[in-house]
Amino acid sequence: MASLVFFVVRKIHHSLLTLWFGVKHASCQKTLRRASFNSISCFLSCIQYLLPRISMKSKFLHQLYEFMLTRGYAKRTIETYLTWITDFIRFHKFTEPQQMRAEHVEAYLTHLAVRKQCAKSTQATALNALLFLYNKFMECPLPEEMTFLNSKRERKLPVVLTQDEVKALLGRVNKQHYLAIALLYGSGLRLMECVRLRAGDIDFDYKCIRVWFGKGGKHRVVTLSEALIPLLKTQIEQVEQTLLRDLNVSQFAGAWLPAGLRKKYQQRNKTLEWQYLFPSQRLSIDPETKQLRRHHIDEKQLQRNVKRASSDAGITKHVTPHTLRHSFATHLLAAGADIRTVQHQLGHADVRTTQIYTHVLQQGGNGVISPLSRLSI
């Protein structure tokens, strides 16, 4: 978690010295600012002033990162919270969080709604990050009632593919990633739920997949397409062969497990059931435990593959891996599935989130058939 303080002098223009400075920290993006000086002495004075302040901010983020890591927060949650907290600090011109109170949080959230025009869910995520910062990390609870403008930007309707488009897309994906991408549509998995699957999560007897620690830390059981069973069995055999090779490496510490499971099942992480279904091609050092492990594949590989396959298939819609999940839900509803069943399959906490998919099933806008369609032209 080392940080790097960097200073870049652009050039001297009309006796004006321009300096870019910032921090590159392992847990956040670069923070970059610019300053101009009319003399070398001013430049050096600024360096002496900035260095301890930049190091302090980096130390603060490092402590925040370690706080979340030791309490078992998911890596994606840590990244998201750090991003919003860093943006909050940057918005208030790098004022220390200890010196800011509820009114600063309110101003920032209003800024997201008015100037940035963020969606409601985006503003809610930023609020959750700041509540965590003050309530849990700094132990300076924010008031339950805060005054800020709520975002009015509604959630966009999801892009949904037809069954023919799904077939065309799957026919053009890379064979290496076909199974993972097919599961996104066949079981309605989120991208990270798919790449984090373990070999033991597949239940061939009941034709289902057990999803552990999905969004919001929830567990659920989803359907498994019979068409994918032969491919899944072959994939698990390949995982087993990879595991046998890894066991011959003396430093191999087994698959990563959450801290609680790591204590409960001490050596089980070297058994087949706990290995990732889609493992990476090489061993790597786990940043949390500093041990040698085999992680799952990078989700960006699937993102690029889906984008390329949709382009090759001539699909003009904006297609992402999540589009296949949208299509899964819509096609289930079109086939007559109960909306509560679809809600459970998707892992939605609120059925209103699932109801958004019913828009595709309606003919025209809100079920209205245009009178032009009734004319004989």
The catalytic site residues sit at: 190, 215, 322, 325, 348, 357
Question: Which CA distances in Å does 236 have to 78, 176, 202, 214?
Answer: 31, 14, 10, 22
- Cβ-in-10-Å burial (0-12, 13-18, 19+) of 309 comes to buried
Which of these, 39, 4, 33, lies nearest to 20 by C-alpha position? 33
Using alpha carbons only, give the angle 116, 118, 122 rounded to the nearest 5 degrees. 135
Helix/strand/coil for 23: strand
CA–CA gap between residue 195 and residue 299 (Å, rounded): 7
CA 329 from chain centre, in angstroms, equals 20
Q: What is the residue whose two structure tokens read 């204590």?
A: 263
Helix/strand/coil for 324: helix
